[in-house]
Amino acid sequence: DGAGAGVAATGTALSGDVPGDAGCHVWLGVDDREEAVQVVNHLRPWLPVLQALTVNSPIGGGTDTGCASGRAVARSRRAAAGPPPWFRSAEHHDWLVEGLHATGAVPEWQARLSSDRPAIEVRVADTCQTVAEVVLLTGLVRALAATALGDVRAGRPAPNVDQTLLAAASWRAARDGLEGENVDQLTGRRLPVWRLVDTLIDHIGPALRALGDLPLMDEGLDVLHRHGSGAARQRAAYRRRGLVSDVARVLADQSRQDLPRLAG
């Protein structure tokens, strides 16, 4: 009666247009659709934080796009991408999906119910550079879902954060990534993203401890804090000579080993 997680990932583009589908998706098993849709509501305020943690597509068209997640910017041009709306029920979710299909659009929200299995798809992240970062993302999402499921079963409603402000926070995460600032969706305060990460860990800390994941998450976050986001590491490689091939080499090297071994 908990939430399990699995990961499916596609590749990251290095040149040409950055494709909107080059992301890392975490699947959460939640059997009851009414509970699942409320879990999505509880996830909404935290999606910009997860997005900022996983930015990894700054290079497109042979140059720096100016955004930490060019993928997210590309996806934002689609009719139903970005943060999901607040769902009243599973029926409301399905009604919106059917309405989008009727217009020819596809529901590509950063979190949504799966159409063919009892699961939630969390689709907010770029493809991660290292296995360690995939593990970090999955652990954080699983603990968020476990925390949300506990709130749902305890009758604690999800905060109905404003959709426009949530979309703006997603835009800010795509632009500035982990190294910038963003807005705490629960307080309205603008803070360094690392402060928002601390708030996230405080929120899901009990679930991380219960799952035995807290030491692993602390280690993964410490590595990111020392080495920077995937986007920052790509940009550092690109700035040395202005060559996309240098970025490709860094990505190839880092995809074959854990990030902690890359110090220096």
pLDDT of 197-210, one tens digit each?
A: 999 999 999 999 99
pLDDT for 155 beyond 80: yes
pLDDT confidence of residue 119: 93
- Number of other residues whose CB lies within 10 A of the CB of residue 9: 16
pTM, two decimal places: 0.88
Sheet of 119-126: strand order equals: 4-9, 23-29, 119-126, 111-113
Asked if residues 23 and 74 have their Cβ atoms less than 8 Å apart, the reply is no
pLDDT confidence of residue 243: 85
| Local structure of 223: helix, strand or coil | helix
Asked if residues 128 and 10 have their Cβ atoms less than 8 Å apart, the reply is no
User: What stretch of H or E contains 5?
Assistant: strand 4-9
Kindly list the distances between the CA atom of residue 158 and the CA atoms of 54, 92, 141, 148, 179, in Å, as whole numbers in the listed order: 24, 16, 16, 8, 28
**Least trusted range by pLDDT, from 89-103, 135-149, 240-254:** 240-254
Mean pLDDT estimate for the chain: 88
pLDDT for 13 beyond 80: no
pLDDT confidence of residue 202: 97
pLDDT for 77 beyond 70: yes
pLDDT confidence of residue 257: 63
CATH classification of the domain holding 112:
3.30.590.20
Higher pLDDT, 200 or 253: 200
How many structural domains is the chain composed of?
A: 1
pLDDT mean over 55-81: 90
Q: What are the residue ranges of helices labelled H in the chain?
A: 33-43, 47-53, 70-75, 90-103, 131-153, 163-176, 193-211, 214-227, 230-241, 244-255
Q: What percent of the chain has pLDDT over 90?
A: 71
Residue 157, domain extent: 4-262
Interval 31-62: pLDDT, tens: 999 999 999 999 999 999 999 999 999 998 88
Residue with tokens 């796009």: 65
